[in-house]
């Protein structure tokens, strides 16, 4: 099939998102003046109306397979505490995972933590492209545009990117996870080193993971694409979901992270472009 034929086929498909569906990305505190962009790839468990329940029961859509429980609330509170803008994804990671390279088998999982996702099985290319065009690309375009606006307004301070995630205390197929939070990173040590040092000194009662429970060298599409490639300081945090499952917990952890970020953002080289 030629490219024009593919494009024509895609135009003939019904849209993924309808008039009652929310946007693919939500901008919070867009006028925030701190040169820090907060991003939350797995903020929502929303499914487009056209996909129904994706073949899953309601209990599955409330679980961690559909979203990072508590991460959106932490992100919103951080944006307020730090006067920083934030971008939150509007759709479930089951529709398309915006922190994965498109086409990766985990980008649109057929099975997630033992749950079979019927709507993601035997998917044709045209329908996959709908998810890219209507959810994945608009979300990442919102991040690109927001970073561009921030940098244009404050050219002396390259923006820092901080991704907020959460993790389940125990996967169905694995061992309990002992960390309350973890900092994920790859080559650029500026932000992660400062965060790890501050969290461990200020909160010795916490078990803070360094590239745990996930490895930032393996799962970091958003920060790699928008920060690492441009030489912007960046890192991601994972907070255990049972600690932020209600708003009181989200406020508490936003406060912990806000203190650590204020410390990190005071570093002399944090707002410089450095390619590692």
Sign of CA dihedral 16, 20, 23, 24: negative
User: pLDDT tens across 244-275, in order?
Assistant: 999 999 999 999 999 999 999 999 999 999 99
pLDDT value at residue 173: 56
As a whole number, the mean pLDDT across the chain is 93
Contact 236, 165 (CB under 8 A): yes
- Quote the domain boundaries for residue 57: 3-265
For residues 70-94, give the mean pLDDT. 98
Look-up: residue for tokens 């919102």?
Answer: 142
Asked whether residue 272 is assigned to any structural domain, the reply reads no
CA-CA distance, 139 to 83, in Å (whole number)?
A: 21
CA max distance for the chain: 60
Asked whether residue 273 is assigned to any structural domain, the reply reads no
Asked whether residue 275 is assigned to any structural domain, the reply reads no
Contacts of 37 (CB under 8 A, 6+ apart): 84, 85, 86, 87, 143, 146, 147, 150, 159, 160, 161, 162
14 or 138, which is more confident: 138
User: pLDDT tens across 159-202, in order?
Assistant: 999 999 999 987 555 677 889 999 999 999 999 999 999 999 99
How many domains does the chain fold into?
1
Asked whether residue 198 is assigned to any structural domain, the reply reads yes
Asked whether residue 165 is assigned to any structural domain, the reply reads yes
Contact 236, 164 (CB under 8 A): yes
pTM over 0.85: yes
Task: Copy the structure tokens of residue 66.
Answer: 């559909």
CA-CA distance, 229 to 213, in Å (whole number)?
A: 24
pLDDT at residue 108 greater than cutoff 80? yes
**Residue 38 maps to which CATH number?**
3.40.630.40
pLDDT at residue 70 greater than cutoff 80? yes
CA-based end-to-end distance of the chain:
41
Asked whether residue 65 is assigned to any structural domain, the reply reads yes
pLDDT value at residue 27: 98
User: pLDDT tens across 9-64, in order?
Assistant: 445 688 999 999 999 999 999 999 999 999 999 999 999 999 999 999 999 999 99
Asked whether residue 157 is assigned to any structural domain, the reply reads yes
Asked whether residue 276 is assigned to any structural domain, the reply reads no
Contact 167, 65 (CB under 8 A): no
Angle formed by the axes of helices 247-265 and 190-202, nearest 10°: 120
């Amino acid at each position: 099939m030629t490219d024009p034929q593919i494009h024509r086929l895609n135009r003939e498909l019904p849209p993924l998102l309808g008039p009652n569906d929310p946007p693919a990305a939500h901008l919070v505190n867009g006028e925030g003046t701190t040169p820090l962009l907060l991003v939350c790839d797995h903020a929502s468990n929303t499914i487009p109306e056209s996909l129904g329940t994706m073949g899953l029961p309601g209990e599955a859509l409330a679980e961690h397979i559909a979203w990072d429980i508590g991460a959106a609330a932490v992100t919103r509170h951080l944006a307020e505490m730090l006067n920083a803008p934030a971008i939150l994804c509007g759709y479930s990671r089951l529709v398309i995972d915006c922190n994965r390279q498109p086409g990766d088998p985990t980008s649109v999982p057929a099975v997630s933590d033992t749950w079979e996702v019927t709507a993601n099985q035997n998917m044709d290319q045209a329908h996959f492209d709908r998810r890219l065009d209507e959810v994945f690309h608009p979300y990442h375009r919102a991040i690109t545009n927001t970073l561009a606006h921030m940098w244009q307004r404050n050219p002396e301070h390259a923006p820092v990117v901080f991704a907020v995630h959460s993790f389940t205390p125990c996967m169905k197929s694995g061992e309990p996870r002992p960390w309350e939070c973890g900092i994920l990173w790859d080559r650029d040590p500026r932000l992660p080193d400062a965060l790890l040092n501050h969290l461990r000194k200020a909160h010795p009662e916490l078990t803070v993971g360094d590239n745990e429970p996930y490895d930032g060298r393996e799962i970091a599409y958003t920060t790699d694409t928008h920060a690492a490639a441009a030489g912007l300081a960046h890192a991601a945090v994972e907070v255990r979901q049972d600690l932020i499952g209600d708003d009181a917990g989200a406020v508490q952890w936003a406060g912990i992270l806000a203190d650590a970020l204020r410390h990190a953002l005071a570093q002399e080289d944090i707002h410089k472009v450095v390619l590692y």
